[in-house]
Amino acid sequence: MTTADKLRAEGFAKGYARSKARGRAEALIEQLTLKFGRLPASVEQAIRGAKLEQLKALTTRVLTESSLDEVLALSGISAPAVLSTLDSVTDRAGRS
C-alpha cells in the first residue's frame, strides 16, 4: 500500500466517523424533542459537537430517563458544561 493509499484510507475513515456522529446527533435531537419537547439551542449545539462515544451514551439514556436533565445528567444546562459532563460519564462507563 502506497503512502497516498494510506492517506486516502485515513481520510475516508475520519470522514466516515464524522458522518456517523452527525447522523447519530440528529437522530438523538429528534428523539429528545419528541420525548421532552423543544430543546434549548445550547443543548442542540452541545449534542452536535459531541463525540461519538458521548452520543452513544446519550442515545441509551434517552430510552430510560424521564427528564431532559436526567438524560444530560445536569440542571442549568450550558453547552460547555454538557460536554464536560458527557466526558465524565463516558470516562466512567469506559472504566466499568
pLDDT in tens, 47-92: 998 888 888 888 888 888 898 888 887 433 444 455 555 555 445 4
Domain hosting residue 20, numbered range: 3-95
pLDDT in tens, 6-54: 777 677 666 766 778 899 999 999 999 999 999 999 889 989 988 888 8
Residues 6 or more apart in contact with residue 44 via CB below 8 angstroms: 29
Q: What span, in angstroms and rounded, lies between the C-alpha atoms of 90 and 68?
A: 18
How many domains would you assign to the chain?
1
- Residue 19: per-residue pLDDT: 77
- Residue 17: per-residue pLDDT: 65
